[in-house]
Structure 1
Amino acid sequence: MRLTIATALLLLAAPTASLSAQAPSPAAPLPGDGPEDARLKQLFQDSDERGLKLDPMGAIYRGDLRYADRFGDYLSDARDEQQRRDLEGDLAALAAIDRAKLTPIDRVAYDVFRNEQQTALRGFAPANLKIRRAMPIDHMNGIQTGYPDFASGKGAAPFKTVADYRNNLTRNAGYAALYDRVIARFRDGMAQGIVLPKLTVRNMIEQFDNLIAEGVEGSTFYQPVTKFPATVPAGEQAQLKAAYAAQIRDVIMPAHRKIRAFLATEYLPKARESVGLSAMPGGTDYYAYRIESNTTLPLKAEEVHQLGLSEVARILREMEAQKAAATFTGTLPDFFQFLRTDTRFQPKTAEEVRLGYEAIGRRVDMRIREQFSLIPKTRLEIRPVPDFRAKSAAAGSYDAGTPDGSRPGVFYYNAYDLPNRYLWGMETLYLHEAVPGHHFQVSLAQENTALPAFIRFGGNTAYVEGWALYTESLYRELGVESDPYQRMGGLNDEMLRAMRLVVDTGLHAKGWSRERAIDYMLTNSPMPKSDATAEVERYIAMPGQALAYKIGQLTILRLKAQAKAALGTRFDPRAFHAAVLDAGAMPMPVLERKIADWIAGQPRG
């Protein structure tokens, strides 16, 4: 799932959200709410409002346009200090609320808020903040990876009125100016010996080359003025076209050239050949923090590594069974090579990919109510990944819509390098990114007005990605992966998440090289080298993030097994899935407590 602009810039930012151009209100009172519940909801509202003012683009993503005429003070020391003070204040106010006097749903919200704020605050500890400041962007999380799409007329930024178009010009100016702060922070990092790997820098240089090569009228930033809505008067359209062209030519492109030149001539020579955090000053401790902040559990790197090795071995055994079911007579590596190279599995056109995903969606929709009683109202659209980021993007991703229906959820499929976009991987990818994966989880949370905004629009990777990976295990119930090849696609995706436990810890705690990590992934799965390379370079740029998928999935599967054992024939998957989804994203310890309470509260037969 792609991060919002603000989250990509500030991985540990305070939660922010709203729904309209008006100030957000506390979550609606529920039957049984008492004074402590009201105090808690007011705390959530106050915290949310402070965050919205700090994060104008994050607000736009949620449909709140009150701050749409500004870009935001991203990557500034003043912003960092304000966030730290806000987190400390929120935790102090939370401690003054008596949790025992809250309703059950508000006790869950209390626990989620406390866990998330405590984790975010640890990110502002001097040692952690020092490393985060020194590496402000990379090829996965940099502002250049998301903002162009945000401002393209097809992203989250609205383009319905003249004011919308002019607000976007203001934000674009802020975007261009941000690169001066990026360069300043990179230079501080160089002075401290805290620098990115060379391969990450080269990937960023290529991204800026792609943006620069678009020119003016071919620029992603020019797209909003290529087609105007009827609400923009004809007399304004020529002026806006001229203003956008001038800004791209005189402001945005010079900023792109400046950061590109800095990266190529000044930063790249100082970047490190090593790829793991352990090779950097303070990197080992920072990686320990990254593991806990992403998995929401206090796991050790070696523990995660061994769990990954165990999961890889299990999945290999299942792959052997699918090889036999396909009547393939060679070895498993031979079968991997067959899946990678046989042209029957390679789409011929991007249109074939699109039609394939639409057909999968129709099949899943026919069975979805057998497993789910909660169905989101938000529409889902299927779109190709924009060209400028297709080369370094994943095979698929999801962008959230808005709860009011003004923007649909979007499943993005990647049609770059078609020979390596295998047909056998499509069904499992759809389950994960679209239905019932990210689209269900994100949309249901956003649509639930009983939840506080930080839960409706927030989330942690272990829950969000753990849920999406868990939904891949529902292939049989949802009528997909019915032949050995599509099932190998499902196993390949599960293997990817298992290998991440091995490779991420190998890179950042065991000194693995990029090449060793890529070879490990190719040896244990049929994924193409281009995908394995992109995955490894993602782990290098985002330490610990990829661990959360498998950790979250295993937690949900364990809780499901506990529920089945406790309830027997009374177990209903629709009720279990509702219990997991109906309170929004939770850290794993909070989810474990919630499901235990749900099991205890089920009527006895």
Structure 2
Amino acid sequence: MRSKLLSFLALSSSLAMAGPAAAVAQQSAPAKKALTEDERLTALFHESDEANLRRNPINALFRGDLRYADRLGDYVSKEYFDAERAAAEQELAALHQIGRAKLSDVNKIAYDVFERDKKQALKGLSPDILPLTAVRPINHFTGMHTFYPTFASGQGAAPFKTLQDYENNLKRHRDFLAMIDKSIERFREGMASGVVETKMTINNVIQQLDTQLAQSPEQSPYYGPVNKFPDGISAADQARLKTEYRDIIANGIYPQYRKLRDFLKDEYLPVARDGVGLSHMKGGDKLYAFLIEDTTTLPLTADYVHQLGLSEVARIKGQMEQIKQEVGFKGTLQQFFQFVRTDPQFHPKSREWMTQRFFEIGKQVDALVPQQFSALPKARLDIRPYEPFREKFEAGGSYQSGTPDGSRPGVFYFNAYDLPSRSVPGMTTLYLHEGAPGHHFQISLAQENEVLPAFMRFGGNTAYVEGWALYAEKLGYDFGLYKDPYQRFGHLDDEMLRAMRLVVDSGLHAKGWTREQAIKYMLDNSSMGETDATAEVERYIAIPSQALAYKVGALTIQRLKKKSMDALGANFDPREFHAQILMTGALPMTVLEKKIDAWIASKKKA
């Protein structure tokens, strides 16, 4: 999972409506050369990106751009969404003034991606959809209350190299305090309109807030930056900053946390909905249909997704049966699942043991990737367990992107909470997905590619991002990492997870499934422990449709690979294919297929 990467994302109206390039063309200097369509498109992309960073300063900080580092942003208010809508409308109008037919091949791809992104943004900001999402600003899986502590901890994306960095962090804290108030206002709007979160997700949020409030200010992640200072900050400033940081935690952040917790517990929870799926929420059917297309980048229905999932589950179970026979296990597949789920040999010995094992897997992969890849990221990859304050509600692993210049590494986080529920057979495939060559390669190669416009370097869609990472798991076969039948079973178990997601997510949100029904389905069809299965199901409840994109994206990339191999025969080179997939950023599935078709055609002509 990528990243829980945050998508909380002014161009003047006259400039944007005409297009930045048109504004340049209107200059009266007679010597000014008329811009080509490619140059006009580049100018539009640049102006769009600059305006986006002003509206969404967190995006800039993740890139290492400190121009807006004293701001956190809004991301919640009506004014924020109005500004996002206006920008999308203006930039789409500017795009349509550029002649696509006259663009270079790469810029035609960029045009198509930009157009789709803006159209999807406008759908999400429409009067039909926005009132169903904006009034639910926080749940246990997405929300500033869990994102921001890590971000501001000194171990996240926010820099702490200079005195100004420390001062900027205090200013961002004040934005965060205001955002909590705005979030409560949004929740109240939903209470009035009848669009509310589930009791389950809100109970989890209350637990998360209580967990953080149980820490003293000095134990809080927010205090982390002042536990260790870089060189160049005077003793007087260090003492002052320690006092100011403790004060804003104790007298700012914690009181706001308590206000949010008390509001959720006393006012919101009693009116939150019992039914966990969107089908139980006012407007939920309409929202789920939008979300399926938004995350998969394909016009799929809930019924289609559900049936695809059932088919994939059956296929993978057949391969699991073969492994059960290979290892000589006597019993049913369900008994084999229970054996892998409970036998001590399949569980990590300690947090430290898990860390060392992931380091070993990383070294193995590093030695093998040149067989399949001609381009490697410059950024290094760090391996870390989740921090204790958030590990209980996190997935088995995730990835946090580094900076384009490599000054901040990418991070593969793994979950060491409840070690008896963690699977040793699944460690290889988890690293391939979250680390290399999964998210780390895809995200780093895109953002390090300065030829691409910024929205393609730093943007993305879930079907591509997660589809690539799931596809990367299958490269374990090419790397020879699945010779051990239990590691191969771990891979199948993870593939089964993504297949079950198609069934369970659509079951929850379109077919009225309960939380308990969804958990049982996952336990019945895999060796997942109950802790993992529960966390997964509660994640699907919190972020509907996101989990569908993994399998849809991976199946698309696998199909395109087979199409390429069948068409090119001996001329097929996996390194070249992977470069075609990776080196133009995260493309919608329809755009990606057009690109691969064009590449196949060009190879045949050569």
TM-score bucket of the superposed structures, by smaller chain: over 0.9
Spell out the pairing of 1:125-274 with structure 2 (5 A cutoff).
125-274=126-275
Partner residue in 2 for 1:419: 420
* SS of residue in 1 equivalent to 2:153: coil
Q: Does 1:454 align with 2:455?
A: yes
Q: What residue identity is the alignment partner of 2:122?
A: L
In terms of mean alpha carbon deviation, does 230-239 or 590-599 score higher?
230-239
Partner residue in 1 for 2:331: 330
Q: Does 1:103 align with 2:99?
A: no
* SS of residue in 1 equivalent to 2:437: coil
Deviation at 1:348, TM superposition (A): 1.5
Q: Is the 8 A contact 2:447 2:458 kept in 1?
A: yes
Deviation at 1:484, TM superposition (A): 1.2
Deviation at 1:231, TM superposition (A): 2.2
Q: What residue identity is the alignment partner of 1:252?
A: I
Q: Is the 8 A contact 1:5 1:143 kept in 2?
A: no
Deviation at 1:287, TM superposition (A): 0.4
Partner residue in 1 for 2:26: none
Partner residue in 1 for 2:542: 541
Spell out the pairing of 1:370-409 with structure 2 (5 A cutoff).
370-409=371-410
Deviation at 1:5, TM superposition (A): 6.6
* SS of residue in 1 equivalent to 2:308: helix
TM-score (norm 1): 0.95
Distance in 2 (alpha carbons) for counterparts of 1:4 and 1:569: 40
TM-score (norm 2): 0.95
Which string of whole-angstrom CA distances, capped at 9 and with x for unpartnered residues, describes residues 419-473 of structure 1?
Answer: 1111111000000000100000000001100000011011000000000000111
Distance in 1 (alpha carbons) for counterparts of 2:540 and 2:326: 33
Partner residue in 2 for 1:61: 62
Which string of whole-angstrom CA distances, capped at 9 and with x for unpartnered residues, describes residues 150-193 of structure 1?
Answer: 00001010101111101101101211221111111111101111
Partner residue in 2 for 1:28: none
Distance in 1 (alpha carbons) for counterparts of 2:121 and 2:10: 7
Q: What residue identity is the alignment partner of 1:104?
A: D
1:116–1:301 Cα change, 3 Å: same
* SS of residue in 2 equivalent to 1:217: helix
Q: What residue identity is the alignment partner of 1:581?
A: L
Deviation at 1:255, TM superposition (A): 0.5
C-alpha RMSD of matched pairs (Å)? 1.5
* SS of residue in 1 equivalent to 2:331: coil
Which string of whole-angstrom CA distances, capped at 9 and with x for unpartnered residues, describes residues 513-535 of structure 1?
Answer: 00110000100000111111001
Partner residue in 2 for 1:517: 518
Distance in 2 (alpha carbons) for counterparts of 1:281 and 1:341: 41
In terms of mean alpha carbon deviation, does 477-486 or 209-218 score higher?
477-486
Distance in 1 (alpha carbons) for counterparts of 2:358 and 2:10: 36
1:431–1:34 Cα change, 3 Å: farther
| Equivalent pairs, count | 585
Q: Is the 8 A contact 2:137 2:143 kept in 1?
A: yes
* SS of residue in 1 equivalent to 2:527: coil
Partner residue in 1 for 2:319: 318
* SS of residue in 2 equivalent to 1:398: strand
Spell out the pairing of 1:566-581 with structure 2 (5 A cutoff).
566-581=567-582
Q: Is the 8 A contact 1:14 1:117 kept in 2?
A: no
* SS of residue in 2 equivalent to 1:383: strand
Deviation at 1:300, TM superposition (A): 0.6
* SS of residue in 1 equivalent to 2:526: coil
Which string of whole-angstrom CA distances, capped at 9 and with x for unpartnered residues, describes residues 87-134 of structure 1?
Answer: 011111111111110001111111111111111110011120001111
Deviation at 1:4, TM superposition (A): 6.0
Which string of whole-angstrom CA distances, capped at 9 and with x for unpartnered residues, describes residues 335-382 of structure 1?
Answer: 000001000111111010001001001111121111111111111110
Deviation at 1:34, TM superposition (A): 7.0
Question: Percent of pairs identical after alignment?
Answer: 57
Deviation at 1:73, TM superposition (A): 2.3
Spell out the pairing of 1:340-355 with structure 2 (5 A cutoff).
340-355=341-356
Which string of whole-angstrom CA distances, capped at 9 and with x for unpartnered residues, describes residues 538-581 of structure 1?
Answer: 00010111000000000000000100110011111111000001
Q: What residue identity is the alignment partner of 1:549?
A: Y
Distance in 2 (alpha carbons) for counterparts of 1:594 and 1:167: 43
Q: Is the 8 A contact 1:492 1:525 kept in 2?
A: yes
Spell out the pairing of 1:413-492 with structure 2 (5 A cutoff).
413-492=414-493
Partner residue in 1 for 2:87: 86
Q: Does 1:553 align with 2:554?
A: yes
Partner residue in 2 for 1:587: 588
1:503–1:5 Cα change, 3 Å: closer
Deviation at 1:70, TM superposition (A): 1.5
Deviation at 1:604, TM superposition (A): 5.4
Q: What residue identity is the alignment partner of 2:248?
A: Q
Distance in 2 (alpha carbons) for counterparts of 1:500 and 1:92: 38
Partner residue in 2 for 1:20: none
Structure 1 residue runs without a partner (length 5+): 16-24, 26-32
Distance in 2 (alpha carbons) for counterparts of 1:452 and 1:490: 35
Q: Is the 8 A contact 1:372 1:574 kept in 2?
A: yes
Deviation at 1:479, TM superposition (A): 2.5
Q: Is the 8 A contact 1:6 1:55 kept in 2?
A: no
Runs of 4+ in 1 over 6 A off after TM superposition: none
